[in-house]
Chains A and B, each alone.
Chain A
Amino acid sequence: MQTSILAADTLIQANAVDYLLIAIYFAFVLGIGFLASRGMSNSVDFFLSGRSLPAWVTGLAFISANLGAVEIMGMSATGAQLGLPTVHYFWIGAIPAMLFLGVVMMPFYYGSKVRSVPEFMKRRFGTGAHLVNALSFATAQLLIAGINLYLLGSIVHALLGWPLWVALIVAALIVLSYITLGGLKAAIYNEVLQFFVIVAALLPLTLLGLHRVGGWDGLTSKIEKAAAANPDTIAPAADQLNSWPGAALTGFNSDFLSVVGIVFGLGFVLSFGYWTTNFVEVQRAMAADSISAARKTPIIGAFPKMFVPFITIFPGMIAAVLVTEIARTKAGEAVAGGASGEGVTYNDSLLYLMAEVLPNGLLGLAITGLLAAFMAGMAANVSAFNTVVSFDIIQEYIIKDRPDDFYVKLGRWATVAATAVAIFTAVLASNFSNIMDYLQTLFGFFNAPLFATFILGMFWKRMTATAGWTGLVSGTLAAVLVGILADGTLGGLSVGVLPLSGQGASFVAAGAAFVVDVAVSVVVSLVTTPKPEGSLKGLVYSETPKEDLVDAEDAGRPWFERPVPLAGVALVLVIILNVIF
């Protein structure tokens, strides 16, 4: 196995059938863009796909938009390194927040008829908070699109041997053509398609890998053996095979603090901030055909999301015991090779496992799945970016009062511009990969105070416009301050006064951002003038008639078509999963 990889020019050997599978997928993707461009005539169509999609479509798109490069490569890499505690990113760090979004927050988003999350900010808090939110979001999307594009290009390079710059430009052009042609609807259709392809790609990989290591028992005994052989470099097997308390993940010495860090930092602040205010996600639900479908979007998405760890984290864990290169990397050796050609990293786990267990044919399907996921990730960033730029920045502040189709055209140009910038940031990422990591950590900081501001604003009518933006800014600053005081979170910028590193530091930073945001918002609200009563209808809980928040037709539906009972079932399932693992 090892010689075949070392003798080859590329990490994975694809043959004609594999290329055929990839080509068919691209034909479908471009066909969708072309078809979606028919029957589209106004800005609601282009940006919110006419609010016409059924809940299962938007629900799958909701999790697919997140199932991009960072998730698939990142989660399998963390799985290879740390094992089962990685599931917290799903069962603690995603599901509860998705259910909360569907049950509590979505009625405000959908019911107030806003076209974007920053627009909700504007209606609730006015210009200051709106501008802070819109600008930070748009910038973050460009950078993340660049990271997705870079990973996409580097995998094309590793798999097919194309030069990185060719891979980048080809990938960017394909993403560009299907979004400009079809708008959000094409992006969402492709995300749903991508969901099935990625499952069809990763499920056989997981099953075959598990078969090769001798099932779950074989996997556990091999992990125990590897951990016992290298106690200095590999986390103890007990930590890798049980999700709680997850000390290896947080880096905390105390089990109790580790649990608190995961539940409050990751589970509450970070994940609620991400899932409930990130427009990339919320936009998918806004495209649903009714308030009930919009609420069901994240709730339906929660069911497949629960099982994504089995096809991302498990392959990573399997690769760490089955693939020699990854096992040696885990034991602390520096191994030559890898997708980048600059040494094997945990990020290469999936690719090595694919080369190890998949025959040609399934291999092509797996490559297609990865390419699809990274393109869809980038498309999601770009389509959210063009909505925010067209409506929230340009229409609000720069070129006002033009006819509708002007902004549709503008949206298309924003997409072209975003793609060009993404190529640039992708090149940047290829040269300074560490800097991109830090930038991502930084943008993580923006999410925590956002959630605090939203949730206060939705339930406390006294909260003022000034409190909106001062809370956001001070919360973000608090998070950055913790990042700087911690050890290594922001690289050279971190001074290491606090004995925190890795994920634990992010959790503490998020917690600090939340607490400071709430405190500042409350104090500022008490000394400034609130918005007049009546202007907050549809935006604040106590000011909105109950019947505006629910779908009247829901009452007659069976339980499995109503949002709240569905969410209850999902919550029970996720608790069961936590108990088992």
Chain B
Amino acid sequence: MSTETNRGFLGTLLSLFDIRNVIGSLLAVYGIILLLMGLFGDPEVDKTGGPNANLWAGVVLLVIGAVFIAWGLLRPVVPDAPGSSKVNEDK
């Protein structure tokens, strides 16, 4: 499908665009924000009934985000030769 000239560019784009990196970075960013809220913000325990919900949710999101990014790094997507739109995992 794509021409050979932009294959290198396309490869970089594909790895950035890998859905695992997208999910991982969004969840990690959310995790960091909630973690900071949990550490420095008002925990509003009257609403949560005790636990510092932002803190805990932040930690969990950060871990899940990291797992997705690690998965993307460990088993990257490799674009096939031009003429095929298939993308194979785990090459």
User: What is A's interface to B at a CB cutoff of 8 Å?
Assistant: 17, 20-21, 24-25, 28, 32, 35-36, 38-39, 41-42, 44-45, 50-52, 54, 57, 189, 192-193, 196-197, 200, 204, 208, 211-212, 289, 356-362, 365
Is the CB–CB distance between B57 and A362 below 8 Å?
yes
- B19 x A208 contact (CB < 8 A): no
- Tell which of A24, A50, A193 touches B29, judged by Cβ atoms closer than 8 Å: A24
The answer to the question of B70 belonging to the interface, with a C-beta cut-off of 8 Å to chain A, is no
Find out whether the CB atom of B1 lies under 8 angstroms from the CB atom of A50: yes
Contact A52 B85 (CB under 8 A): yes
Whether B2 and A35, one on each chain, are in contact in the complex, defined by CB atoms closer than 8 angstroms, is no
Chain B nearest Cβ from A65, distance in angstroms: 15
- In the docked arrangement, what's the CA distance between A21 and B30, Å? 7
Whole-angstrom CA separation of A365 from B54 in the bound complex:
10
Q: Would A362 and B54 be within 8 Å (CB), given that A21-B33, A28-B22, A28-B26 are in contact?
A: yes
Partner of A208, one of B1, B2, B49: B49
B residues touching A (Cβ–Cβ < 8 Å)? 1-2, 10, 13-14, 16-17, 19, 22-23, 26-27, 29-30, 33-34, 37-38, 41-44, 47-51, 53-54, 57, 61, 64, 85-87, 89
Which of B17, B53, B85 is close to A362, meaning CB atoms less than 8 Å apart?
A: B53
- In whole angstroms, what is the CA distance A297 to B57 when docked? 29
Contact B2 A39 (CB under 8 A): yes
Asked whether A54 and B89 contact (CB < 8 A) given A45-B1, A196-B23, the answer is yes
What is the distance, in angstroms, from A423's C-beta to the closest C-beta of chain B? Answer: 28
* With known contacts A45-B85, A362-B57, A357–B30 Cβ distance under 8 A: no
Q: Within the assembled complex, what's the spacing in Å between the Cα atoms of A42 and B1?
A: 8
Given contacts A32-B22, A357-B47, A362-B57, contact A38 B10 (CB under 8 A): yes
B13:A211 contact, CB within 8 angstroms: no
- Specify the chain B residue showing the minimal Cβ separation from A214: B49
Closest Cβ–Cβ distance, residue B65 to chain A (whole Å): 9
Kindly identify which residue among A32, A45, A189, A360 contacts B37, using a CB–CB cutoff of 8 Å.
A360
> How many contacting A-B pairs (Cβ < 8 A)?
105
User: Known interface pairs A196-B23, A200-B61. Does A35 touch B13 (Cβ–Cβ under 8 Å)?
Assistant: yes
Known contacts A17-B33, A208-B48: does B27 contact A200 (CB below 8 Å)?
A: yes
How long is the Cα–Cα vector from A358 to B57 in the complex, in angstroms?
11
Residue of B nearest to A368 (CB): B30
A54-B89, A192-B23, A362-B57 given as contacts; is B1 within 8 A of A39 (CB)? yes
Closest to A36 in B: B17
Contact with A52, one of B43, B61, B86 (Cβ below 8 angstroms): B86
**A357 with B49: in contact, given A35-B17, A39-B1, A52-B85 (CB under 8 Å)?**
yes
In the bound complex, do residue A211 and residue B48 qualify as a contact, i.e. CB atoms below 8 Å apart? yes
What are the residues of chain B within 8 A of A38 when measuring CB–CB? 10, 13
Contact B16 A35 (CB under 8 A): yes
Complex alpha-carbon distance, A289 and B84, angstroms: 12
Residue of chain B at shortest CB distance from A212: B49
Are A361 and B33 in contact, CB atoms less than 8 angstroms apart?
Answer: yes
Q: B22 contacts which chain A residues (CB < 8 A)?
A: 28, 32, 189, 193
Q: Are B44 and A359 in contact (CB under 8 A)?
A: yes
Q: Would A39 and B41 be within 8 Å (CB), given that A45-B1, A204-B57 are in contact?
A: no
For the complex, give the distance between the alpha carbons of A298 and B50 in Å: 39
Q: In the assembly, what is the distance between CA of A185 and CA of B22, in Å? A: 14
Which of B23, B26, B51, B54 is in CB contact (< 8 Å) with A361?
B54
Instruction: Check A197–B26 contact: CB distance below 8 A.
Output: yes
A and B contact pairs by CB, cutoff 8 A, 17 listed: A17-B33, A20-B33, A21-B33, A39-B13, A45-B85, A52-B86, A54-B89, A193-B26, A196-B26, A200-B30, A208-B49, A357-B48, A359-B48, A359-B53, A360-B42, A361-B54, A362-B54
Q: Using Cβ atoms and an 8 Å threshold, which residues of chain B touch A212?
A: 48-49
Complex CA distance for A20 and B30, rounded to whole angstroms: 10
Q: Tell me the complex Cα distance, A212–B27, Å.
A: 26
A301→B56 CA distance, assembly (Å): 27
In the assembled complex, which residues on chain A have CB atoms less than 8 Å from the CB atom of B37?
17, 359-361
Nearest 3 CB-CB pairs, A to B? A359-B44, A361-B37, A50-B85
Q: Looking across the interface, which residue of chain A has its beta carbon closest to that of B68?
A: A196
Residue picked from A57, A204, A361, A362, most chain B C-beta under 10 Å: A361
- The answer to whether A189 and B49 have CB atoms under 8 Å apart is no
- CA separation between A3 and B34, bound complex, in Å? 27
If A17-B33, A57-B19, A189-B19 touch, does A358 touch B47 (CB 8 Å cutoff)?
yes
Contact call A361/B38, Cβ cutoff below 8 A: yes
Task: Decide if B50 touches A211 in the complex (CB within 8 Å).
Answer: yes
Q: Which residues of B contact A208 (CB under 8 A)?
A: 47-49, 51, 53
Instruction: Give the residues in chain A near B48, CB-CB below 8 Å.
Output: 208, 211-212, 357-359
Chain B nearest Cβ from A456, distance in angstroms:
35
Q: Is the CB of A360 within 8 A of B44?
A: yes
Q: Could you tell me if B23 and A359 are in contact, using CB atoms closer than 8 angstroms?
A: no
Question: Which residues of chain A are within 8 angstroms of B49 by Cβ–Cβ distance?
Answer: 208, 211-212, 357
CA distance A25 to B29 in the complex (A): 10
Which B residues lie within 8 Å of A44 (CB)? 85
In the complex, chain B residues whose CB is within 8 Å of the CB of A365: 30, 34, 57
